[in-house]
Structure 1
Amino acid sequence: MPDWNPQAYLKFETERSKPARDLVSRVYLEQPQTVLDVGCGPGNSTRILAERWPAAAITAIDNSPSMLEIAKTTNSSVQWLLRDAGEDISHLGQFDLIFSNAVFQWIPNNDILIPRLFSMVKPHGVLAAQVPFVDEMLIHQLLMDLVSSPKWSGYFDNVRIPYKVHTPEYYYDVLCELTENIELWETRYYHLMDSYEDILDLYRSTGLRPYLDCLQEEAQQHEFENDLMEEILKYYTATKDGKILFTFDRVFFTATR
């Protein structure tokens, strides 16, 4: 899959950062000395961590060079590293807090990833993560219906979906073998979109990417997006002031060592 587009990602920075802020608010550590941000992207989640714990030594990793290029301009005191969290990163050391905002779904084998990261948490430290729960979302259901339609199904026989979404029960089953100190919850966000095009723009830079990558011709990509937009117009209704409520479900957990 091509590298991330930071500008497209940051267009909806407020919507993408809200879950990170909510997750930080549920981490009950007074003064963590060391913090690791796993999958820092363009630095929006790292900034929230630095605001909450300004005295902490923060390390932020991502496997996207373009994302890190942007992130490095946001805070010179952070140690920014090009690393793939799907590989062994234990050489980075031990941390009071390991934090991840909307990243685990892009990394295979969460049943291996989570214990590996938890082993890097210091005693009394916390592993905190948030992942989108797209299987419950209308936009995902509309996309899946379109992908399997007679018009488009033949284009996606070899589609490689680089993300995997798990249920809260899955995460609990993984975590309960590591610790008894678990908090697990789900939140449905209602993002206020200014237009229907904003819904498509937000989803284009994440869940829609693997399918657009399968369509080699730009004209086909536009046609596919137009067909999805027709479905969006059918099922998302504007409010009295013209805003569109775009629902987005997310699963959160904290695990204390």
Structure 2
Amino acid sequence: MVHTWDPERYLTYADERGRPFAELVARIGATSPSTVVDLGCGPGNLTALLAQRWPGAEVVGLDSSVEMVEKARATTPAVQFRVQDLREWAWAPSSDRIDVIVSNATLQWVPEHLELMESLVARLRPGGWLAFQVPGNFDEPSHTIRAELAAQEPYAAHTAGASHPDSHDPVVYLDALQRLGCEVDAWETTYLHVLRGDDPVFTWVSGTGARPTLQALPDHLRPGFEEEFKRRLRAAYPSRDGRVVLPFRRIFVVARVGAGS
């Protein structure tokens, strides 16, 4: 089943989701790039920051979600946005070379995305930059509870083929990109997001990691699944004085292609 994205739900925690992007881009040393591509641009609010950082560059945002691109075009008209799968873009024959490629919280949705590194590096000019960030929290209750519940009946028959995100440790990306001749800066950070509202962790994951599972369920089963999911998340992430702390590990990689590449 092909799932769809809801830009408004995704933007519920826009500040928390945007902070890793800002910290990733701050480590890119490009001064005056001509071309910047944002792979998995989502609703475009963060792509706009790339246009602000490099006002002289042609900035292009790509996303496979029609809904996300429509939102991006409506809110950020100064940037070019296209509906395109990043794998198709990476693998497409092209003589054009890019100065900066950015991908924020997207590659975890691409199975075997480590194999894409060579194609992405090949799309860069000598001295060009590849920067990406992926979640590294898939052993946390926000993900394990979803997987455990989805594997139970009566849900398992519907959720077995649902997409789920995955990523590697920083050293794996560092090794892969060094082998491709890049200078690599890789690190990880665990954020402690303080969330408020009713079932805030469910609100967070239902806009991202849990969305394919929820959409895979038929209408008559989804409410029961959601209520049990919320109950288990409340137990795993208790509220204190109306606040819930969500630990969130993220993995960052900034690589520069060698001048002789």
TM superposition score normalised by structure 1: 0.90
What's the offset of the Cα at 1:204? 0.5
Partner of 2:205: 203
Shift of 1:65: 1.4
Distance 1:91 1:64, change over 3 A: farther
Matched, 1:141 2:144: yes
Shift of 1:152: 4.9
Deviation for aligned residue 1:97? 0.6
CA shift digits 1:210-250 (9 cap, x unpaired)? 22123212x421111111111112121233x4211111111
| Deviation, structure 1 residue 134 | 2.8
Aligned to 1:103: 106
Instruction: Return 42-51 or 156-165, whichever deviates more.
Output: 156-165
Shift of 1:68: 0.8
Deviations 1:20-55 (A, max 9, x none): 111011112222221111111110220121222222
Q: Which residue type is aligned with residue 215 of structure 1? A: L
C-alpha spacing 1:162/1:237, structure 2 compared with 1 (3 Å): closer
Unaligned runs of 5+ in 2: none
- Please say which of residues 181-190 and 85-94 is displaced more in the overlay: 85-94
1:215 match: 217
Q: 1:125 to 1:81 in 2, by over 3 A?
A: same
TM-aligned CA distance change 1:139 to 1:147, over 3 Å: same
* 2:155 and 2:217 in contact (8 A); partners too: no
Q: What whole-Å deviation, never above 9, does each CA across 1:145-178 have from its counterpart, x for those lacking one?
A: 32344x5564356323253322323322321211
Provide closer, same or farther for how the CA distance between residues 155 and 221 of structure 1 changes in structure 2, counting only shifts above 3 A: same
Change (3 A) 1:184 1:211: same
The equivalent of 2:94 in structure 1 is 91
What secondary structure does 1:28 align onto? coil
Percent identity of equivalent pairs: 32
Could you tell me which amino acid in structure 1 is paired with residue 115 of structure 2?
A: I
CA distance in 2, matches of 1:205, 1:253: 24
Alpha-carbon shift at residue 255 of structure 1 (Å): 0.6
Which stretch of the first structure deviates more once superposed, 121-130 or 109-118? 109-118
Amino acid at match of 1:242: G
Q: Show the counterpart of 1:121.
A: 124
Contact 1:131/1:252 (CA < 8 Å) preserved in 2?
A: yes
- What is the correspondence of 1:36-115 to structure 2 with a 5 Å cutoff? 36-87=37-88, 88-91=91-94, 93-115=96-118
Could you list the per-position Cα deviations for residues 33-92 of structure 1 after superposition, in whole angstroms to 9, with x for gaps in the alignment? Answer: 211111111102201212222222111111111111111123333222221111224538
Change beyond 3 A, Cα 1:160–1:237: closer
Q: Could you tell me which of 182, 185, 188 is aligned with 2:190? A: 188
Q: Which moved more, 1:6-15 or 1:246-255?
A: 6-15
Task: Report the 3-state secondary structure (helix = DSSP H, G, I; strand = E; otherwise coil) of the residue aligned with 1:135.
Answer: coil
Question: Structure 2: how far apart are the matches of 1:107 and 1:228?
Answer: 25
Query: 2-side partners of 1:232 and 1:193: how far apart?
Result: 13
d(CA) in 1 for partners of 2:175 and 2:19? 27
Q: Which residue of 1 aligns with 2:173?
A: 171
2:228 — aligned with what? 227
| 1:96–1:121 CA contact under 8 A, matched in 2 | yes
Q: What is the match of residue 134 of structure 2?
A: 131
One-letter amino acid of the counterpart of residue 127, structure 1 = L
Shift of 1:115: 1.2
Tell me by how many angstroms 1:3 deviates: 2.1
Aligned residues: 254
